[in-house]
Amino acid sequence: MNEMDEDRADAWFHALSDRTRRDILRRVLAGEHSVSTLAKSYDMSFAAVQKHVAVLERAGLLTKRRQGREALASGDVEAVRSVGAMLTDLEALWRGRIDRMDELFAEDAPTTDTTTHGTD
Amino acid sequence: MNEMDEDRADAWFHALSDRTRRDILRRVLAGEHSVSTLAKSYDMSFAAVQKHVAVLERAGLLTKRRQGREALASGDVEAVRSVGAMLTDLEALWRGRIDRMDELFAEDAPTTDTTTHGTD
DNA sequence: ACAACGTACAACCATTCGGTTGTATGTTTC
DNA sequence: GAAACATACAACCGAATGGTTGTACGTTGT
């Protein structure tokens, strides 16, 4: 895991660590929304919502396209999948631990059958 | 999505938003480690690492058990899976958007078959 | 007994974060 | 062209974050 990946991960998880941003992401994944439309949904200033959108955009979780005076935001599902993939990698580490525990069991026990491991 | 879930999600993503914490989580998912063992891996004070462990613990991503003078930390893979599930839910919203786009196509096209909607 | 180890926690500090208001600029609409 | 709308961004502020050092306390080894 190199420095650039960690930077991206920092940005992803930080972007997702705020409930308003998670809610914005839900909306823009379900469909395009202008920033002002989004802003009307929350009990805070337009500028605050705009900043949240900017954080999501910098993290690559959302893209904006300009149409006239509106900025239409759209969620990037590929980025969401990348975050999910990171967690799957974490799970894999855990599974490795379990496998190692199984090996210890196998070493300890009288070897009845070493060829088939029905661990799944 | 109620208030308590959002609090948990805030804690999860915030805990994961720091690269040191992600690294600690990787290690304790792979196997139990004492806090001081973990601390030796990073270029920061013991207290700093201890705080990171505490953040992960409060988020429920890791549990500690006391053995003598050591505090052994172990990653909770179920919590990691819960975070992953949240992202899967986000993906589902996106898929809903795509389905709706398909419907628009279908409405636009000459009606060949309106009775069966093979959207799955 | 006592020194070394492992942990816990408080106090402090610089930086970041999440919010505000205000100002500027481009785009519709009348 | 003026008014209303949508965005962008800077400046500011209190709270939280990520680090530090110092202190205290139980546990282990000699």
pLDDT of residue B76: 98
Task: Count Cβ atoms below 10 Å from residue B93 Cβ, excluding itself.
Answer: 18
pLDDT at B117: 46
Model confidence over A10-28: pLDDT tens digits? 999 999 999 999 999 999 9
Per-residue pLDDT for B118 more than 50? no
Tell me which residue of B82, B62, B80, B17 sits closest to A21, measured CA to CA.
Answer: B17
* Confidence bin at A2 (pLDDT 50/70/90): confident
pLDDT tens column, B41-65: 999 999 999 999 999 999 999 999 9
Tokens of residue A75, six digits: 């969620």
Confirm if B18 and B59 have CB atoms less than 8 A apart. Answer: no
> Which whole number is the average pLDDT over B8-18?
98
Q: What is the pLDDT of residues A34-89, one digit of tens each?
A: 999 999 999 999 999 999 999 999 999 999 999 999 999 999 999 999 999 999 99
What is the rounded CA–CA span in Å between residue A28 and residue A43? 18
CB pairs under 8 A between A and B: 93
Per the CB < 8 Å rule, is B90 touching A81? Answer: no
pLDDT at B17 over 50: yes
Identify the pLDDT of residue A108: 62
Residue B87 has pLDDT above 80, yes or no: yes
Q: Give residue A117's pLDDT band: very low, low, confident or very high (50, 70, 90).
A: very low
Q: How far apart are CA A46 and CA A33, in angstroms?
A: 14
- Beta carbons of A91 and B83 less than 8 Å apart: no
Q: Does B48 touch chain A (CB under 8 A)?
A: no
Nucleotide nearest to B17 (CA to C1'): D17
The predicted structure's pLDDT at residue B20:
98
With CA atoms as reference, the chain B residue closest to A101 would be: B31
pTM of this structure = 0.87
Alpha-carbon distance B116 to B89, whole Å? Answer: 26
* A101 band by pLDDT with thresholds 50, 70 and 90: confident
Of B13, B81, B90, the CB nearest to A17: B13
